[in-house]
């Protein structure tokens, strides 16, 4: 029997090329999230800290809607526009994740639309 696959939620802006999350089998695969206003879907560029906070706040809502939670996250990938900003991201990150936190990889790369932070994760559905 093949594992179930379903879209969990769509971002607000019309014609987006990817949903926020997809459930496949036992896991929830969350797309790379950048800082957006949850009401309008508009991008909210700011500092590394403010973008991290916005992303993780939105992630919390998304996980709850999907019947999951921060406790069920198994793996996080954080992309930063510059690794010099890692401590600023971390200061906010630790406020959201339980102890012990999930597995994580952080690296520096060029992000779309000049955003400073992008976070994706995989969680138990």
Residues forming contacts to other proteins in the complex (CB under 8 A) are 2-3, 5-7, 17-22, 24-27, 29-32, 75, 77, 79-80, 82-83, 86, 105-112, 118, 120, 122
Q: To the nearest whole angstrom, how small is the minimum distance from the Cβ of residue 121 to other proteins?
A: 10
Q: Do residues 81 and 108 lie in contact, with contact meaning Cβ atoms separated by under 8 Å? A: yes
- Taking the C-alpha atoms of residue 69 and residue 44, their distance in angstroms, rounded to an integer, is 24
Q: To the nearest whole angstrom, how small is the minimum distance from the Cβ of residue 95 to other proteins?
A: 20
* CB of 49 or CB of 121, closer to other proteins: 121
Q: To the nearest whole angstrom, how small is the minimum distance from the Cβ of residue 19 to other proteins?
A: 7
- Taking the C-alpha atoms of residue 50 and residue 94, their distance in angstroms, rounded to an integer, is 14
How would you classify the pairing of strands 117-124 and 21-24? unpaired
* CB of 6 or CB of 71, closer to other proteins: 6
What does each C-alpha distance from 20 to 35, 84, 93 come to in angstroms? 13, 28, 20
Q: To the nearest whole angstrom, how small is the minimum distance from the Cβ of residue 106 to other proteins?
A: 6
């Amino acid at each position: 029997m093949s594992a179930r696959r379903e879209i969990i939620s769509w971002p607000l802006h019309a014609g987006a090329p990817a949903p926020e999350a997809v459930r496949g089998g036992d896991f929830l695969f969350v797309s790379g999230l950048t800082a957006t206003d949850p009401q309008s879907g508009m991008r909210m560029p700011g500092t590394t800290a403010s973008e991290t906070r916005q992303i993780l706040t939105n992630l919390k809502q998304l996980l709850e809607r999907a019947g999951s939670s921060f406790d069920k996250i198994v793996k996080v990938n954080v992309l930063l526009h510059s690794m010099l900003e890692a401590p600023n991201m971390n200061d906010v990150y630790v406020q959201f994740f339980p102890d012990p936190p999930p597995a994580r990889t952080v690296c520096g790369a060029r992000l779309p639309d000049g955003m400073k932070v992008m976070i994706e994760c995989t969680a138990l559905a």
